[in-house]
């Protein structure tokens, strides 16, 4: 119970840090709107040059520039307070979709400082959640082996625990994809691809977390998505730790497995001999 309480405290600290980090980034990066005047001057000069060479009307020029701006902003999110928090989380979890980036020099420096302290804090939380997942899967393997399969002991528990965590992680990808298809226009394959890229921190950026402003219960859905992402990242950390904990025998897995089979056969023979002695 005390370990669970510590995890809750760490998550609370993580949440406060992300909110503060996001608020500071929003306060710095929202000044980017002042550049719209300069963009208008650039577009006006461009129009005058194109009009002289190609005799283009103003309406045609505006249509072309509008399409170009829409294509450029398709994966670019305007800076809001919510965007700042999303940027802080994506940065400190090292996912880095790339759809939200600082443009000012002050924002770039703050991003570096925030990541220096935020990434270790995030890793600390993921390690704690991952340890809880590992303990849970270990208990699950023991229950299946001893209570359900009626075995006296658990053989190769490290490998079985690793397999169970991998199954859990893949199950999370599938469940997350099924839920995401209900709130977005993505297909199941696209949603599965998104969660896999997110949980492995690859973060290509071709699919990014959708905006849920127009949806009902958007705040609850956003919080649930963040917690779900943290658990998925913690499962990845648990997979890595469990894989590193497996000791490879010097003579290899095959020889070790063969030796285990021989030892089990000897024990079975000795048990049968004792039973025969008792009968006689």
* pLDDT-based confidence at residue 32 (cuts at 50, 70, 90): very low
Question: Which of residues 66 and 269 earns the better pLDDT score?
Answer: 66
Do residue 227 and residue 269 come from a single domain? no
Q: What is the DSSP letter of 204?
A: -
pLDDT at 75 exceeding the cut of 60 = no
Question: Which of residues 57 and 261 earns the better pLDDT score?
Answer: 57
pLDDT at 219 exceeding the cut of 90 = no
Do residue 216 and residue 272 come from a single domain? no
Do residue 181 and residue 240 come from a single domain? yes
pLDDT at 255 exceeding the cut of 90 = no
Helices (H) and strands (E) in the chain, counts: 9, 0
Question: Which of residues 80 and 213 earns the better pLDDT score?
Answer: 80
pLDDT at 116 exceeding the cut of 80 = yes
Whether residue 169 is contained in a domain is answered as: yes
Question: Which of residues 245 and 139 earns the better pLDDT score?
Answer: 139
Do residue 234 and residue 128 come from a single domain? yes
The stretch 234-261 carries a mean pLDDT of 73
pTM above threshold 0.85: no
Do residue 139 and residue 64 come from a single domain? no
The stretch 11-27 carries a mean pLDDT of 94
Whether residue 87 is contained in a domain is answered as: no
The domain of 70 spans 40-75
Do residue 44 and residue 138 come from a single domain? no
pLDDT at 268 exceeding the cut of 90 = no
Percent of the chain with pLDDT over 90: 49
Whether residue 140 is contained in a domain is answered as: yes
Whether residue 11 is contained in a domain is answered as: no
3-state SS class at 280? coil
Residue reference for tokens 């890793």:
123
How far apart are alpha carbons 87 and 81 in whole angstroms?
10
Task: Quickly list DSSP for 182-220.
Answer: HHSS--HHHHHHHHHHHHTT---SSS-PPP-TTSTTHHH
Percent of the chain with pLDDT over 70: 77
Do residue 239 and residue 128 come from a single domain? yes
Do the Cβ atoms of 57 and 124 come closer than 8 Å? no
Whether residue 268 is contained in a domain is answered as: yes
12-16, 75-79, 180-184: segment of lowest average pLDDT? 75-79
Residue reference for tokens 């904990």:
245
* pLDDT-based confidence at residue 29 (cuts at 50, 70, 90): confident
What confidence score (pLDDT) does residue 60 get?
Answer: 78
Task: Quickly list DSSP for 43-109.
Answer: HHHHHHHHHHHH---HHHHHHHHHHHHHHHTTT-PPP-HHHHHHHHHHHHTT---SSS---SHHHHH
* pLDDT-based confidence at residue 194 (cuts at 50, 70, 90): very high
114-123, 148-157, 207-216: segment of lowest average pLDDT? 207-216
* pLDDT-based confidence at residue 133 (cuts at 50, 70, 90): very high
Number of domains in the chain: 3
What confidence score (pLDDT) does residue 99 get?
Answer: 86
Whether residue 108 is contained in a domain is answered as: no
Whether residue 222 is contained in a domain is answered as: yes
Do residue 239 and residue 124 come from a single domain? yes
How far apart are alpha carbons 209 and 195 in whole angstroms?
10
pLDDT at 119 exceeding the cut of 50 = yes
Do residue 162 and residue 265 come from a single domain? no
Residue 201 backbone dihedrals phi, psi, to 5 degrees: 60, 25
Do residue 132 and residue 224 come from a single domain? yes
Chain mean pLDDT for the chain: 82
Question: Which of residues 43 and 229 earns the better pLDDT score?
Answer: 229
Whether residue 7 is contained in a domain is answered as: no
pLDDT at 72 exceeding the cut of 70 = no
pLDDT at 254 exceeding the cut of 60 = no
* pLDDT-based confidence at residue 153 (cuts at 50, 70, 90): confident
Do residue 266 and residue 165 come from a single domain? no
What confidence score (pLDDT) does residue 110 get?
Answer: 95
Do residue 225 and residue 274 come from a single domain? no
- Tokens linked to 98: 């790339």
Domain CATH for 157: 1.10.287.70
């Amino acid at each position: 119970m005390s370990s669970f309480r510590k995890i809750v405290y760490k998550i609370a600290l993580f949440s406060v840090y992300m909110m503060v980090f996001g608020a500071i980034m929003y306060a710095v990066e929202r000044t980017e709107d002042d550049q719209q005047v300069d963009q208008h001057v650039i577009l006006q000069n461009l129009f005058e040059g194109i009009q002289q060479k190609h005799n283009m009307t103003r309406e045609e020029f505006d249509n072309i520039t509008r399409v170009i701006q829409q294509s450029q902003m398709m994966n670019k999110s305007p800076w809001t307070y919510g965007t700042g928090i999303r940027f802080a989380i994506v940065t400190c979890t090292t996912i880095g979709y790339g759809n939200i980036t600082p443009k000012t020099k002050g924002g770039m420096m703050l991003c570096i400082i925030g990541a220096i302290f935020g990434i270790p804090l995030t890793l600390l939380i993921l390690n704690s959640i991952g340890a809880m997942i590992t303990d849970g899967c270990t208990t699950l393997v023991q229950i299946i082996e001893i209570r359900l399969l009626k075995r006296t002991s658990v053989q190769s528990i490290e490998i079985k625990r690793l397999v169970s965590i991998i199954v859990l992680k893949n199950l999370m990808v599938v469940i997350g994809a099924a839920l995401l298809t209900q709130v977005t226009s993505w297909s199941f394959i696209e949603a599965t691809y998104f969660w896999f890229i997110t949980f492995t921190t690859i973060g290509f950026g071709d699919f990014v977390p959708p905006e849920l402003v127009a949806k009902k219960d958007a705040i609850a859905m956003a919080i649930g998505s963040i917690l779900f992402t943290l658990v998925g990242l913690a499962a990845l950390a648990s997979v890595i730790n469990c894989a590193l904990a497996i000791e490879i025998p010097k003579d290899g897995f095959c020889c070790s497995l063969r030796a285990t089979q021989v030892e089990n056969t000897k024990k079975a023979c000795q048990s049968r001999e004792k039973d025969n002695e008792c009968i006689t």
